[in-house]
Structures are given as structure tokens and as C-alpha cells.
Amino acid sequence: MYFVDTLDVPGLGNRGYLAGGADTAVVVDPPREPDRVIAAAARRGVRITHVAETHVHNDYVSGGLELARITGAAYLVPARARVSYARVPVRDGDRTPVDTGLALRALATPGHTPHHTSYVLEDDGTAVAVFTGGSLLIGTVGRPDLVEPRLTRQLAEAQYDSAHRLATALPDATAVLPTHGFGSLCAASPSGGTDGPTTIGQERLANEALVKDVDTFVADLLAGLDDIPAHYARMGPVNAEGPAPVDLTPPRRADGREIAARLAAGEWVVDLRHRVAFARGHVAGTLNFEAAGQFAVHLAWLLPWGKPVTLLAESAEQLAAVQRELVRVGIDRPAAASTGTPADWLPPGGATRTFPRATFTELAGALRADAAADARPGVVVLDVRRDRERADGHIPGSLHLPLHQLRDRLGEIPDGTVWVHCAGGTRAAIAASVLDAAGREVVAVDDGFDAARATGLTEADRDPARTS
């Protein structure tokens, strides 16, 4: 008998896997923290003998090298990957025993990267599952534009061929176990709203790479690509060089005076509380990245690489969980941290700042009042969603600055009160904190975008002269 356990990393939209038999196991595309993987193996009562990477990752720092070092496991990495550490180079067709009757067979599946490799899990010679990494995802494929712009079309075509190779070489019942595609920005398009499970047979009927001809697939794939997160350019080299061991010890504690000094020095001080609590009262100049969902991705995308970060958390438990999330995106050691409430983070005599929150119904009312008064400056509607989201519908007359561009484009926002929105409120809260720290008068629209459609905000344009 064999088993496959999922190592879910929802904050990144990724999954790693622990697979094995009665005594030994392999880990495919492990998360950064080895303690988590070792604990999963201990629960199964198995020894990790192999760690396998499908590719050199761009979206997160891998824990594979350290996990292999700690456990003594063989570290399987595609032979064509350019890395600076010793590993077992894997080539197309290589077969690696995992446990009695259980083996991994490598299949070259270039596209997401030129060296990408999938691993077929065979039980007594029968393919039962395939770890597809960033190749065949659920309903889609991994994006082909993360390596080199000149290679993007070539890799898109290779991604199509690789998907068809998997569909042809494997039985319909083979479970498809991708690393990306559960909210990961490594996916070429939304995966259809399912977290699985899925099989080769199901993907053959629904995956965009398997139901379109190559020309249509490549054209649609390239047309749908959105901006690449800025930190992806750092993750690949870190993984190729060999990530440093993880240090999850608590950061040094900062008091109100030190927090004020760090803000004055231009460093980032990040308040991890819920967006509602932040809006009600926060230290001036701090930025709000609510410790939920994909906050680590947003923070890594916006943060200038190497800039010191001080974390403000509600509790030691929240701080520890956040550190675990941040090491996955290369923010290894906070400069300092503090737990408690804004009262604990202010210098002597300091006062908190606030800004209002609103709904799309309230925004509609503000726009009507603004039009009636013909006031200048008036209401500025700022949409911080990504291009693909805005293309599906937007508020006419709104200014569009995707969240990841906001920090560098603040000067483009007209005078007036900025009502900032996204699709649900989380990114709008981040943007509102950035604007508030810059001294702008801001209102955070904390509402789902369907409410904007319900109010009629998306039906008719406002004054085109007020947009850019």
C-alpha cells in the first residue's frame, strides 16, 4: 500500500507532497520549513529517503536543500537546472525506488521552466499519481513567462506539448497532483474554481491545454498573462544558489521610540492586525498587511528588496505564524517586532491615526453628491485590482493603479479624497494604509465588487476628464 499526503501552503496557493509506503517516503516540492515536513513523516512512521524538486521555483523559497541535509535524503533536482549545490541530477526516464514496489519515474515536461520535470508515482509498475509541479495544473497550466521574456512563446508551446505528453503517457485514472494552481500566481489562468481531486482523464476533458489546438492555446495563454510579482525575480536565484537554513526564533523587541525611529528612517513597519482594527486606530506611517490569506505575497511584492521590516502583531502566536509565512517568500528575519496594541507601539505623547471604511453603496452616494456640488478637488475612485480583474468590469471614471504599482505611482493620483477599492476589501486596506502613510485623505471601500454592479456604479461613465 502507498499513501500521498498533501502539504498545503494556502498563503502561496501551493502544495507539496509526502508520498511513500510502509517504511520510507519521498517529499515532492517541499515548503520552506523542514520541521513541518519531518512532523508529517513522523505521523506516518516513515523515514524520508528522497526529496524531489519538479523545478527551481520562482514563487517561494524551497525547503528541499535543508530538508535533505537534515534527513540525509537524496536530493533529486532536474539535471538541466543550474544550481550551485550538490544534488542527484534527474533525467527523463530515470526511475527512483521509494519503498517496496513503489517508485518515482521522471518525465521531462518543459514549459513552466526549460528544465521542468514531473514525477510519476508507480505502484508495482502501475502509474497511480503524477506530481506535475508547474506543468499540468487543474484546468490550466503554469505560466511560461517567469524565466526569460524571449523564451515565453517557446515555453508556452512546450507547455502544450508537455500537457499532451502527460495525457498520452498516463492512464486516465492517474491522480494529477500539481504544486501550483490553488491561488498561486504561477498559474497561467484561474484554475476553474476547484481544488481537486482530479485525474488525467478529467483533465483530458477540461484542461485548456488539452481541449484547444496549439495555436489557440498559445495565443490565449499569452494574452492572459498578468504582471509578474516583483519578488519572483529574487526567489529563483535564491533557490538556485541554495537557501539558508530557516531561523524562526522571535525577533528582537522594539518599543515605541524605536518604532518611531525606524519609521523616520524610511523603514517599513507593518501592522498585522485586521483591517477594521487598523482603520480604527494605528501608528502614523505604519502599513497594514492583515495576517490572513496571501498577505505574505502582497508584502513581498510591494516591499523594496532588502528593506528592513518591523512587525507589529497582536500576540506572540500571531507573530510566530507570520514569520513562518514570510520565510517562504524570502523575508527571513524581521529587523524587530512588537506585540500588543497601538498604545504599546506609540512613542511617549504619540497619538493614533484613523481613516473611514465604506461600502460601494456609500461610494455611489459620495459620487452623486460630488457631481451635484461640482467640487474640485472631489472624489477620486482608485481601483487597485490587477489588469485581468479590471478587464472583467470596472467603475467608469476610476483610476486604475494595481496594488503592486501603487508605491511607485502615488504622484499620479489626483487631488481629492481617495476612495480605494479592490475585489473584496483586503488589497484596498493595504492601499489605504499606503495612501494614509503618504498623507492622503482616504476612504477604504471594504465591500465585494458585486455590490458595485448592484448599485449601478459600473453601468455608466462619469466625467472622463477626472480619470487617467
Q: Positive or negative, the Cα torsion across 458, 464, 467, 468?
A: positive
- List C-alpha distances in Å: 184 to 10, 147, 229: 9, 17, 11
Examine the pLDDT at 226 and tell me if it is beyond 60. yes
Residue 223: predicted pLDDT: 93
Q: What are the pLDDT digits (tens) for 47-94?
A: 999 999 999 999 999 999 999 999 999 999 999 999 999 999 999 999
CA distance 266 to 10: 31
Residue 194: predicted pLDDT: 66
pLDDT band at 467 (very low <50, low <70, confident <90, very high): very low
Look up residue 455 and give its three cell numbers.
448599485
Residue 458: predicted pLDDT: 86
Look up residue 146 and give its three cell numbers.
517567469
Phi-psi region of 273 (alpha: psi -120 to 50; beta: other; left: phi over 0): beta
Residue 191: predicted pLDDT: 52
- 430 membership: H or E segment, kind and range: helix 426-437
Mean pLDDT of 176-186: 93
CA distance 393 to 449: 9
- For 342, residues 6+ apart whose C-beta sits below 8 A from its C-beta are 281, 282, 283, 352
% of the chain surpassing 70 pLDDT:
96
Helices (H), 192-335: 200-206, 208-211, 214-223, 232-241, 256-264, 275-280, 295-302, 316-327
% of the chain surpassing 90 pLDDT:
90
Residue 195: predicted pLDDT: 80
Contact 294, 183 (CB under 8 A): yes
Mean pLDDT of 279-291: 98
Examine the pLDDT at 192 and tell me if it is beyond 80. no
Count of helix runs (H) and strand runs (E) in the chain = 17, 22
Residues in a beta bridge with 399: 382
Mean pLDDT of 6-22: 96
Overall pTM surpassing 0.75 (yes/no) = yes
Q: What angle do CA 27, 28, 29 make, to 5 degrees?
A: 120
Q: What are the pLDDT digits (tens) for 376-429?
A: 678 999 999 999 899 889 999 999 999 999 999 999 999 999 999 999 999 999
pLDDT band at 463 (very low <50, low <70, confident <90, very high): very low
Mean residue pLDDT of the chain comes to 94
User: Which residue's C-alpha cell is 528593506?
Assistant: 307
Q: How many CB atoms lie within 10 A of CB 410?
A: 15
Q: Domains of the chain, with CATH numbers?
A: 3-241 (3.60.15.10), 256-353 (3.40.250.10), 357-466 (3.40.250.10)
